[in-house]
Amino acid sequence: MKLLQYRHRLAGLALILLTWLGDSPTAQAQTNSLPDLGDASSAIVSPEQERRLGRAWLRQLRSQAPIIHDPLLYDYLFNLVYRLAAASDIAEPDLALVLIKSPAINAFAVPGGVLGLNGGLLLNARTEDEVASVIAHELAHLSQRHFARGLERSQQNSWANLAAMLASVLVAATAGGDAGMAALATTQAASIDAQLRFSRANEREADRIGMQTLTRAGLNPMAMADFFEALQRSMRYQGERPPEFLLTHPVTESRITEARARAAQAPAQSSSDSLEFQLMKARLAVEFARDPSARIQELEQEKADSDAFLEVTEYTLACAYLETNQLDKALASIDRLLDYRAHRITYLATKAEILTKAGHYQKAIQILEQGLDYSPGNYGLSVFYADALTLAGNTSAAIKVLREQITQWQSQPLLWFMLAEAYGKAGDRLGVYQAKAEYYYLYGRPQQAIEQLKYALPLAQEDFNRTARISDRIQEIKLSMEDMRL
């Protein structure tokens, strides 16, 4: 498997942000804390119901939207999300993260702890703090349970209605704008005016609480206002249609002013100049480049014109050379970077990625083992390691690495895809069927998942415990198929 060519040819996505309905301005001024789990909103929809519905929604999203599975990008974003979650009002964060392959500036949060970011958000943010400000805002929607509280306020106490609302947002995410917005309007037409009022209240509350999260996490709270201003300026160049983020997060002068006033009251904190953020932007820039060869020429000229060592430019070149199969040049670029920072995980992983694509599996394995000595269990390194091991024919070691990662990242489809491949190379049909079942399930294809498990049952007939686990899993998947229809 060529890991970074692992892509699904699915419909294009113009993902809208789901703006949760919520509390009144009076109520929001009275408390910053989580809603009491015994309140009326929890009677309408419990946290566990929110989780089930949100994860079912995520599975449907994966089945219809292009997803970026780059292990380095995912690891970077996941760590940033959990740094912020630890500083948020979420008592026990249990979050699912998805990165959408779309250049539009957008993010979303879905009940049950689903957080999504468009690639365009990272590409257009100037600092890590600006990305963090959007994540903190979305985490505030989750911590304050705006979805359940909005249902309480609008008297929408039917679980089927909850599923219908999220289904409408799914249509908007995958059909691209007008069709989805029409479906959403149809679902909510009876109370649209009230919903808009609650939505605006929620946005103010999420801004305020999100800024508190930024401050606690040691990030620059002024980044939220800076990002709002940058979005507002970008509207001048968008014609009639603003960035996707602004469709559900209208930015006004008063909102920017309020954000700056709050930030001024917080402890002063300068924006972080995160090298890792810039490196991840470089990976994404190559991912979205329309003409990688032309981009390479620009970068080479940029290097030629500078007397200094341009670290991010060199890394972008390494990624662009890799993308265009200029592997000798890619290795030369990454070696220059490793001469500069010998132990940087991103550079070690990228060198191994290049070596694997060149067919030098043992060299890649050696580099990755070196990196894992520095950072045991690192997700990005482990994914590349398992890939190189599989291609080198050491499937037992690859399966062990993937199984260890799955204990922590059970809902990562990429890991199950790779595990199925490793089992296939090892000649283990039962393992293939079980791994493929989990992959299909996480990609919103439950019938195919059940089919794979039924293929597995006869192969496990002499192992009572394994047969029982497979049968139980079939029933669990069947029950989960009702989560979006309850």
What pLDDT sits at residue 84? Answer: 96
Report how far residue 148's alpha carbon sits from residue 142's, in angstroms, rounded to the nearest whole number: 10
Report how far residue 462's alpha carbon sits from residue 64's, in angstroms, rounded to the nearest whole number: 38
- What is the layout of strands, in order, in the sheet containing 114-118? 96-100, 114-118, 107-110
Range of the domain at 243: 3-265
**Assigned domain for 228 exists:** yes
**Assigned domain for 448 exists:** no
Q: Residues 32, 38, 44, 49: is their CA dihedral positive or negative? A: positive
Residue given tokens 């908007």 in the structure block: 172
CA atoms within 13 A on the CB side of 436: 20
What pLDDT sits at residue 204? Answer: 81
Task: For residue 460, report the phi and psi dihedrals to the nearest 5 degrees.
Answer: -105, 10
Task: For residue 304, report the phi and psi dihedrals to the nearest 5 degrees.
Answer: -65, -30
Task: For residue 232, report the phi and psi dihedrals to the nearest 5 degrees.
Answer: -60, -40
Q: Give the pair of three-digit tokens for residue 296.
A: 């390479």
Q: Give the pair of three-digit tokens for residue 189.
A: 């037409």
Please state at what angle helix 395-408 crosses helix 413-426, rounded to 10 degrees. Answer: 160
CB 254 within 8 A of CB 204: no
**Assigned domain for 44 exists:** yes
Residue type, 120: G
Number of domains in the chain: 1
Q: Give the pair of three-digit tokens for residue 200.
A: 């605006």
What pLDDT sits at residue 165? Answer: 53
What pLDDT sits at residue 79? Answer: 95
Residue type, 424: G
Torsion of CA 262, 263, 266, 269, to 10 degrees: 180
* Nearest by Cα to 130 from 142, 143, 117, 141: 117
CA distances from 443 to 90, 331, 412, 463 (A): 27, 35, 10, 28
**Assigned domain for 94 exists:** yes
Neighbours of 124 (CB within 10 A): 20
Report how far residue 127's alpha carbon sits from residue 108's, in angstroms, rounded to the nearest whole number: 19
CA distances from 312 to 122, 254, 257, 288, 460 (A): 15, 37, 34, 17, 51
**Assigned domain for 239 exists:** yes
**Assigned domain for 26 exists:** yes
Report how far residue 318's alpha carbon sits from residue 345's, in angstroms, rounded to the nearest whole number: 15
**Assigned domain for 382 exists:** no
Task: DSSP letter for 67, please.
Answer: B
What pLDDT sits at residue 485? Answer: 61
What pLDDT sits at residue 262? Answer: 82
List 110's β-bridge partners, or say none: 114
Neighbours of 425 (CB within 10 A): 16
**Assigned domain for 37 exists:** yes
Report how far residue 308's alpha carbon sits from residue 271's, in angstroms, rounded to the nearest whole number: 24
Residue given tokens 């999300």 in the structure block: 81
Residue type, 369: E
User: Could you tell me how many helices (H) and strands (E) the chain has, helices first?
Assistant: 25, 3
Q: 3-state DSSP call for residue 100?
A: strand
Residue pLDDT tens, the chain, 486 long: 444 443 333 222 222 223 333 333 333 333 344 444 444 455 566 778 888 888 998 998 898 888 999 999 999 999 999 999 999 988 888 899 999 998 888 888 888 889 989 999 999 999 999 999 999 998 988 877 656 555 555 444 444 555 555 555 555 445 444 444 444 444 444 333 444 444 677 778 888 899 899 999 999 989 988 888 877 776 665 555 555 565 556 666 777 787 788 878 877 777 677 999 999 999 999 999 999 999 999 999 999 999 889 999 999 999 999 999 999 999 999 999 999 999 999 999 999 999 999 999 999 999 999 999 999 999 999 999 999 999 999 999 999 999 999 999 999 999 999 999 999 999 999 999 999 999 999 999 999 999 999 999 999 999 999 999 999 999 999 999 987 664
* Nearest by Cα to 116 from 60, 39, 175, 34: 60
